[in-house]
Structures are given as C-alpha cells and as structure tokens.
Amino acid sequence: MKNRLSDSKPKYLDASIPLCVLTQEPKEHFERCLKIMDKIEKGNEKVITSVFTIAEIGFILERREGINKGKVAEVLEALIDCLGLKLVDVEAALCREAIRLRLKYGVDFIDAYNVLTMKKRGIKEIYSLDRHYDIFKEIRRI
C-alpha cells in the first residue's frame, strides 16, 4: 500500500521510536512507542522522516541487534509501507549544513540533518526518545 498523507502538518519521526518497538528497549517506553507506531501504520498519525532514518534503523538492527539482512529488509519495507509515513529524500545542500550543526551542538550527523529537515518543512514536533533534541528550542520532542 502506498502512503496517503493529507495536507495537515505532520510530525517528524526519529529512529528511536520504531527501534524501541522492534527491540522492546527501553522497556519503560515500549507501550507508548507501540501506540505511536500503530497510529502511523494505520495512517491515523502523519509523520515524515528521511531515508537516513531508515538506513540508521537498518544499521542498528543488523550491527547492534544481530538481526539477519533478510529480516531487516522485511522490517524496513513494512516501515516504509506505513500509511502515515512520508519518506523524504536526502538533500545535498542540507548535508553540508548538518555537518556544521553537528559540530556546533555535539549531536550526530543524522540528528542534525533531521533538525534541518524539520526547519525547512516547518515541522515543530518530533517523536523521539533522544533527549539531545531538547537543545533545539524551536523543536518540541514528544
């Protein structure tokens, strides 16, 4: 099934939410993350994320969690097929800016890129367990 997003302002989806559901870690956030992902899967919640997020999830599942490539491919395809998810391509111009933002705030490259993508698209809220997003005052972590 293809994505069906309305014109309403979506939230941004960080890798930590689907990873929590897939690994059931951290346990104290599992139920909340499961509810978020269920809404996204059904199209009841609209989110945007970049292809970097998909790559990050795949890398963590394979390298840290030791899940085989075939299973990781199934998981990533299921995520991409969520009705409420809009996957956006990487923009080269934002990559250079993300490198500078990474140095300035001490966050990793993908998170810096996520912040810039949010700013460019006028997105103010991010689903994330990562507290370092809190340093960006124009973004609300939920």
Separation CA 112–CA 20 (nearest Å): 21
| Residues 29 and 129: beta-carbon distance below 8 Å | yes
What was the pLDDT predicted at 4?
Answer: 44
pLDDT at 125 over 50: yes
The predicted-structure confidence for 28-52, as pLDDT tens digits, reads as follows 999 999 999 999 999 999 999 999 9
Q: What are phi and psi of 34, to 5 degrees?
A: -60, -40
Residue type, 119: K
What was the pLDDT predicted at 126?
Answer: 98
Mean pLDDT over the full length of the chain: 94
Question: Could you tell me the pTM of the whole model?
Answer: 0.91
pLDDT at 17 over 80: yes
Percent of the chain with pLDDT over 70: 94
What was the pLDDT predicted at 93?
Answer: 94
Look at the block and give the residue holding tokens 């698209």.
121
The predicted-structure confidence for 69-108, as pLDDT tens digits, reads as follows 999 999 999 999 999 999 999 999 999 999 999 999 999 9
More confident residue, 85 or 8: 85
| Position 22 confidence tier, pLDDT thresholds 50, 70, 90 | very high
DSSP 10-57: PEEE-THHHHHHHH--SGGGHHHHHHHHHHHHHTSS-EEEEHHHHHHH
* Helix, strand, coil percentages in the chain from 3-state DSSP, rounded to 5: 60, 10, 30
> What structural domains does the chain harbor?
11-89+123-132 (3.40.50.1010)
